[in-house]
Amino acid sequence: MILKLIGTALVFAAGYLLTHRALPLLFVGAGKALGFDMKPAPHWQKRVKRFKTMKRGYYSFLIITTLFVTSFFLEFLVNSKPLLIRYEANVSFPAFREWSDKLFFFADLRRMEKRSDFGQVGDAEVDYRLFAASRRDPGIFDRQLEKLDAELKDVKKQLASSRPGSGSTAEERRDYADLREIVPAIEADIELVARARVAFADGKASIIMPLYPYSPGEHLLDLPGSPPHHPDRTHILGTDDSGADVFTQLVYGFRISLSFALIVSGTGYFIGIIIGGIMGYFGGWVDILTQRFIEIWGSIPFLFTIMIVAAIVQPTFILLVGMLVLLHGWIGMTYYMRGEFYREKTRDYVHAAEAMGATDWSVMMKHILPNSLVPVVTFAPFAIVAYIGQLVSLDYLGFGLPVGTPSWGSLLSQGMQYIKYYPSLILTPSVALAVTLFLVVQIGEAVREAFDPKVFSRLR
């Protein structure tokens, strides 16, 4: 228990160092290697400095970014697959493989640890939990051997009684032959288990499980009682009604929710900046027509439309991102960007760039855009809050990510069904959601204050 706490602390420390020491160094280094001047402009430096003085927002920023970066290594921390499994000469890293399979999904590295290679009977994937238990309790092998011996005896008895005589039919002969073939298979299994017992006793087997040895997609149906389960010592937040551990779903759901929100707001802002920029920079008919179009497009009840589509086509992550961006995400930023570009294009530096023969595109992207980023930065945290909320809402209504994806919203809708008996199914995802959004809002407030400070003066 204490070891686990220390382990968790170490994980967070490592996550912090990676996020706020290693990654910035890497980013600046890569930029310099590519020939960019990575020193931020003085007014940006000033804003960042001001942001750091706002303790609430700055610490929220540290916490959220650390958690988010750490969550990309969740497969090593919260997983039913071990970090390392060793049996005789076989060594394997199942957790690492799962991680690389998810990260580099295009390179299909899927290989499975077969049971027979790790001292277990059968061809399926190794039962890691049984493997770990066998190391603590050698009696497991004795019981297995007993069972196999009994089976062998049983088969032999049957063989003796059904030996075909001259009067047997062809069918009886075939059954007898089939039965006889089982004998060597059972004998091989007995040999395998006996060998495993020796190997385990000699310390030729070892396994390292992650800190929290369960996976979100794993249905723990052999727990006592029927799911959902109340929280207890091993499943700190209980399980849901399919027997999947709630804590694992919460942490994997954090990664999915935040990634989803970042991708939607990122793509939405990208499109919004380009369209808003074009509107403000060129003005005239382009501006008027696009404005009318946005007025129409913005009146679409987007949640209802997404629900209609999602009811007919089972949405995937990409489809959901696409629909949210298309129907809603890009619109908000166009208003601000249109204004910014409209204002900036009359400035002297733009005229200078134009006089030097810069193309429209390069004036927009290289000269105006870097001076128009304040709304982008200040609204981003609030957009992330909104999109996390939207994903949770869609999942809650049942029009979100496919069933089986760990998600806060589907936990909430389950909790709704068990509202009388399993309050933790509602309370834990709600608290996770509220805390996450609260931290992001704190970042947003601090960023707004740092980038766009308001000074109120009043008489008394």
* Residue 319 makes contact with another protein by CB under 8 A: no
Of 32-40, 167-175, 266-274, 449-457, which segment contacts another protein by CB under 8 A?
Answer: 449-457
* Residue 392 makes contact with another protein by CB under 8 A: yes
- Per the DSSP assignment, residues forming a β-bridge with 82 are none
* Residue 313 makes contact with another protein by CB under 8 A: yes
The pair of three-digit structure tokens given for residue 450, joined into one six-digit string: 């740092």
Among 21, 32, 180, 292, binds another protein (CB under 8 A): 292
Burial of 240 (0-12, 13-18, 19+ CB in 10 A): buried
Coil vs helix vs strand at 141:
helix
Q: Which is nearer to another protein, 76 or 399 (CB)?
A: 399
Amino acid at 30: A
Residues 40 to 59 in contact with another protein, rule: CB under 8 A? none
The pair of three-digit structure tokens given for residue 102, joined into one six-digit string: 């998810």
* Residue 233 makes contact with another protein by CB under 8 A: no
Q: Which is nearer to another protein, 282 or 418 (CB)?
A: 418
Distance CA 2, CA 12 (A): 16
* Residue 442 makes contact with another protein by CB under 8 A: yes
* Residue 311 makes contact with another protein by CB under 8 A: yes
Among 437, 443, 446, 447, binds another protein (CB under 8 A): 437
Helices then strands, counting H and E runs in the chain, come out as: 19, 3
Residues 372 to 391 in contact with another protein, rule: CB under 8 A? 385, 389
Q: Which is nearer to another protein, 192 or 437 (CB)?
A: 437
* Residue 24 makes contact with another protein by CB under 8 A: no
Distance CA 206, CA 208 (A): 7
Show the site string, 399-428: x = touches another protein by CB under 8 A, - = not.
x------------x--xx--xxx-x--xx-
* Residue 393 makes contact with another protein by CB under 8 A: yes
Distance of closest approach, residue 429 Cβ to another protein, in angstroms = 8
Distance CA 217, CA 405 (A): 8
Short-list 386, 428, 450, CA closest to 56: 450
Give the torsion sign (CA, 92, 98, 99, 101).
positive
Of 106-114, 212-220, 360-368, 438-446, which segment contacts another protein by CB under 8 A?
Answer: 438-446
Distance of closest approach, residue 240 Cβ to another protein, in angstroms = 15
The pair of three-digit structure tokens given for residue 369, joined into one six-digit string: 């855009």
Distance of closest approach, residue 257 Cβ to another protein, in angstroms = 12
Coil vs helix vs strand at 184:
helix
From residue 125, give the alpha-carbon distance in Å to each of 268, 420, 433: 42, 38, 35
* Residue 285 makes contact with another protein by CB under 8 A: no
Among 137, 163, 434, 452, binds another protein (CB under 8 A): 434
* Residue 308 makes contact with another protein by CB under 8 A: yes
| Count of positions on this chain that bind another protein (CB under 8 A) | 49
From residue 232, give the alpha-carbon distance in Å to each of 235, 236, 272, 376: 5, 5, 48, 45
CA angle (115 as vertex; 110, 116 as ends), nearest 5: 120
Q: CB-side exposure of 81: number of CA atoms within 13 Å?
A: 17
Please give the residue ranges that form the binding site for another protein (CB under 8 A).
292, 295-296, 299-301, 303-305, 307-309, 311-313, 385, 389, 392-393, 396-399, 412, 415-416, 419-421, 423, 426-427, 430, 433-438, 440-442, 445, 454, 456-460
